[in-house]
Structure 1
């Protein structure tokens, strides 16, 4: 029988973990459950529901730092930041609708634990790069603090960097401290229509290598353009988009430079503030694949120059559709649900040629149980992961097997 444990505060969470260690019984760590289907399915005797560990601890706008309990809804924190014209610059995506849930329900601890980032990652980095410090409970039943309020205070072994992206397999986060940054005054999107994937990636590379400060670069093929849900974008025509952020005169200057730079690729158009915000939110949250929940969704990380080749290779062998973010370095791929083992052999062969990796983001439990959700690790890396797990969670209490068997 599964037991639902719901601590009211960090002290009770510590007690629950110590009890699980004494019983040598695993725990499934859950905040609001929006990312429960990310990772491998696993059997845990007990659920540790930390949704009551919610609330702002401190926010110092002048110091660009914020700390909150791990189960604080991200939407609450973003609303507070918006009042002060600040933001989480890594632009955390909301996978709620993609994974069959509601939008706006995810927690800040879940975002950090999964190391999620949106289109601005090419400029600002991932969640890990903004994660300054934390309070947590280890798999040894110890409450600990790591990191600090500013980057220069982090000395020795940087545990927050280790915990970001560990999917709750190494420790229970109870409080997180993150760097915040000023929000841009304005946003505008440079748009070129009708490019094929390879040409679009060339255009995005030109933009990202230019001196004109690009905040994001994405390409939506014609078949998926209508799924973005932005009226100004239209449907049935491919769209290559370059995001510009900052002060009005700076954006105007850079937009003019890009009009000249892209003149040989076709007519250049612009999306103004509101449609720009809607477009990049759709790219961030994988909106083109939300409407068909039966399709399996992969996230592929590849060298940007390989993006078009990888997508074409996969599409030639599997019924699949893709769009590109991070200048071609991130491929969102939707695959027909009838494909055996989610098409992982074809997909991993294609990404492996360039040293990339692939993660299965959306699939039924049966598929995630038979396929490798995360990219298989080399023997040396797998051994290192096992040693880290042993050092942090020797009794295999936290989310056992969620990322890899035995970890």
Structure 2
């Protein structure tokens, strides 16, 4: 009996949902205890970078289609589900993957500490380290840091895609001054994200993130404003990176592409990732100025650290041990120049997943069935 169109639709997975399943496999590599720690950190970075690009391109496209729902059939004939339905499913899966990501990251940090590798915050520094980051801030960071009192400027500053920001709340303990908000772009493009600290023991490695160095020096940055309490939370904005080509027939194709690439940097925000501990007043202010809504599905709460793509460049402080098992040639394929000759005779398993999971798959070359 021939399947109905509706039955076939139920078996079809939208390509964007399928892509998230692919990225989940990257996350599985980060969770694999047989993978060296440095590579596991890199897989976290790859996962994060992949997800950023996914929102810039695929989610941005779906949102455009949602806004032009009346023209959906003309824009993408192969879609069987509405863009809004797919976006809701994406939001749910991304939040679930975020929880898995956080759990894996906590496990990796525990493993790193067993290897005497410590990522410390501004609140965990000893006196020597405090003096070190004060000097480092004055010599390297201050000239690359521009704090913006966003309530004092008429136009909200443009927040760059791929950049990381600190949202700062300035206040006084006695309540004598009105709270103020500020934004600082983390200059990781110039200085890198990680700074090696003087360690209390020769076999230990203490590392601090650049944003925590800035957090430690907030009092120094804003001293002339008269406040005595400073709190800061990390956030980032992901923008629509689709290229719009002008239809002006008097313009050359090269000029159209150049203009499209320039405008690409100023795309609408499609995702706002923030520290879930962020001050509610600051969060509401940022969303209002970015024209985002808590009900829009653009908001992704997370932990204290964001932009994990930088972890692909984590300092190489790991002990040289625990190398991954080397690949080997399948016994059935050792003495034949043609794989097809072997699979004509038997099935050959090429890969077996190392992590039990409903998303894992076994890759095998199957012997073709005999025609009847």
TM-score when normalising by structure 1: 0.22
TM-score when normalising by structure 2: 0.24
- Would you tell me which structure has more strand in proportion to its own residues? 1
